[in-house]
Amino acid sequence: MKEKQEKFDFTSIGKRVLTIESAAIARLKDQLDNNFDIACQLCLDCSGKVIVMGMGKSGHIADKLAATLASTGTPSFFVHPGEASHGDLGMISRSDVVVALSNSGKTEEIVSLLPILKNMGIKIIAMTGDSNSKIATASDVHIDVGVEEEACPMNLSPTASTTAALAMGDAIAVALLEKRGFSVEDFAKSHPGGSIGKKLLLLVKDIMHTDKQIPIVFQDQKLAQGLIEMSEKALGMTAVINETGELVGIFTDGDLRRTLEANVDIQTTLMKEVMTQNCITVTPNFLAVKAVEIIQDNKITSLVVIQENKIVGALNIHDLFRAGVM
């Protein structure tokens, strides 16, 4: 009969790893010194791009740092140090700054590039775990990201060290972001496909219904005609205009319910007798996210879009949902 295997305690190991890695990040605060300020200023003064490089696991962290910098206002890209010596060095110009990541500070692919980079007059920022290493001593400024131990039980696999480098990279990116005054609007412009970009860049004119899609009736038309227009255009309302085409009111599903409860004759009642006057409107260049606020604050479901008091569009809550701003 087979012996029952003991349950492996994955949770305890997970907690140990998180404890080690959180301690590694906590130590970074005590390791920060004036070199951090110098490194940030070098990036800020860079008239070219911030080139980030690293091999292996450090390379993955370097790639992420380059992406974070680029998306937060600091032009940056990743260069693989192994490929740099085979042609990609041409991607780096004299106006650039290089950030080199290496836990040991001895990565040969980076070490071999240092003389070339220095001859080009390029400033080098090193992020290593050894301030006496070749990369650290050859750089213009060194940021210590050393850790006491890796989370790996053999103290071999880059775990806590890569987490520390990642956190330090984020610290640099955020420090530069704040110094540049990088705004939410700036972030949206570099993330047009994301939810923030949609919320801050999408305008009412981008999602509104136009031309024959707009439900419109004249104020002297019968309520029955207004109901037909509402039904055909399916926006839950119809705009009401006067003889010169100016907006004078709106008739919504809510108005319809109140009208039916009052037993109004739809064949004899005029639209101007049951419409809501002084309706809330927006302009085509109004931010869609602001339109959401108006709809929510006023507990309504539709908006008429006007320009010079002429109707140019219409939208409802479903349009905003489909656009991803609600």
pLDDT band at 318 (very low <50, low <70, confident <90, very high): very high
Same structural domain, 169 and 80? yes
d(CA 89, CA 112): 12
Same structural domain, 227 and 314? yes
Same structural domain, 140 and 250? no
d(CA 294, CA 317): 11
Q: How many CA atoms lie within 13 A of 96 on its CB side?
A: 21
Same structural domain, 158 and 73? yes
Length of the chain: 326
Whether 219 is in a domain gets the answer yes
Q: What is the pLDDT of residue 189?
A: 66
Determine the average pLDDT of the residues in 209-234.
Answer: 95
Is pLDDT above 80 for 101?
yes
**Which are the contacts of 129, defined by CB distance < 8 A and separation ≥ 6?**
103, 104, 105, 144, 145, 146, 147, 161, 164
Whether 190 is in a domain gets the answer no
Same structural domain, 210 and 149? no
Task: Yes or no: say if 128 and 102 are a contact pair by the CB < 8 Å rule.
Answer: yes
Bridging pattern class, strands 247-252 and 216-218: unpaired
- Average per-residue pLDDT for the chain: 91
Phi, psi for residue 145 in degrees, rounded to 5: -120, 30
Same structural domain, 261 and 178? no
Whether 61 is in a domain gets the answer yes
Distance in Å from the first CA to the final CA of the chain: 60
pTM of the complete model = 0.66
Please count the structural domains in the chain. 2
Q: What is the pLDDT of residue 197?
A: 65
Same structural domain, 51 and 170? yes
Same structural domain, 76 and 167? yes
Determine the average pLDDT of the residues in 38-42.
Answer: 97
pLDDT band at 190 (very low <50, low <70, confident <90, very high): low
Whether 197 is in a domain gets the answer no
d(CA 4, CA 61): 42
Task: Yes or no: say if 151 and 17 are a contact pair by the CB < 8 Å rule.
Answer: yes
Is pLDDT above 60 for 61?
yes
Q: What is the pLDDT of residue 194?
A: 61
Is pLDDT above 60 for 253?
yes
Whether 199 is in a domain gets the answer no
Domain around 63: 10-182
Task: Yes or no: say if 166 and 64 are a contact pair by the CB < 8 Å rule.
Answer: yes
